[in-house]
Chains A and B, each alone.
Chain A
């Protein structure tokens, strides 16, 4: 499949009063045409910053690209001027935000907000743009779009507003849609509706989606591939099945174990101990080592390289080194691995 976006060794820092925060410390990933890539990780792992860096939406005064490149159709986005970037934003790459209650301009009719990218990027007149906006609203499932287009954001519910934000993002048929926790602020039934809508629309306009979330349930529902971020790096990356049923990194084990499931026998839900690393002064080895019961001596000394598990599955943990001692993941993870052909615990039972 064709690569639409390549992020290569991206490093980005914020300059704060306390010092330099190394928010992204060497991130590599590709986005294929038409796929949904989920980026998961806890707060502060750098997932939002990575996507804001792709959109170049970080404050220029305090953030700095240290190295690496973001190649979009061969162009390095980190090197583009503001003017060139404005032509890409909203047209080729667009974004959906976390909180629909605050992401629409309260003093502008939604019609104007939807037509804005159309008028800006496509050579259409006002009447044509309005027509397209009504079609877009209908496409995202808004009843009576002709009437509602004249209304203001406060006249819509949270779920409806997120539909409007999606309509804005899809107005110019972008090649990449970045969804930054688009369902986090919504209640569960609306969440499901919005996810369904996004899947439908992705098929219709054939766009690639980068889906940021910390909700693994959502990941299982929408993603083709998953990247697990921790401490400003991607620690494991693979297809949904590989990440859910054959995870290799202890952090991924922790994440999966802390996900409630119907067949967990234990009463208490597992929680990863400790707190995320301080990126003002990141640990020199594996950033997760201090919180991990599987940490090896070398984890504290040297950052692990990326080991290949399969053609699509990579993980950065010393446990995959040929010389590493064989450790057994937590029981719940072994249960998962039993269902995965190719894992060392595979029992040949069909899932």
Chain B
């Protein structure tokens, strides 16, 4: 059984009349790269702020590294994070800012700082003052801080904001490498779904504070893959006909009423005719297969309607 790093139970945060987070249940496993997908104000940052202790929940609780309540606070040292915008002292250089946090966390030596700055591509700007940094450089320094302490869990809120394409690609590789080599768990939120898709292995889709879906990358691939969706009252019979009579093996029964055929099929009308001819009660048959963005939009609209 996989080790759970973070688990929330009915986590809720209300501000006066509105709920920024509404009874959210999420589970993040060790070595996950967990992507939070949602529009502005969906509740992604609120989850991160609650978990890191920057705000307290109105209801519910969360368990981090197996600890809840007050004792969860002691696990903070195992977390590195960048929430909202990167915040540093403007009059200090990149190196001095990281040195400040090293002293604060009791991290000895200076080699760690140089290594981390190199990892995020800021080695040459180590002595440059933070106030003179571009947006992308500030973002990199924020990521460097999150990685500084070799944490077990890194929480990054919109980490690629302001980064150039090469920087995004380099960071993506860094996240993957840290996840693979040091077994660091990541929770990353982003508006750029295609970028999140390339790094994350599990996704949480959230809208207006409500969890819409928690899905693995494999499941997401299946949901988005081009296919023919057949709705019927007897998926077992349909599966048998597909395999025996039509020789189709690449399909998946998604629920008791629905089956998806992933095998290339140029003529859905002909398929429909063949299924009806074999006494399959087809209630609907249509082509599917959408982009990640469309999938997200459809899901949100479906829940809203």
Q: Do A and B bind each other?
A: no
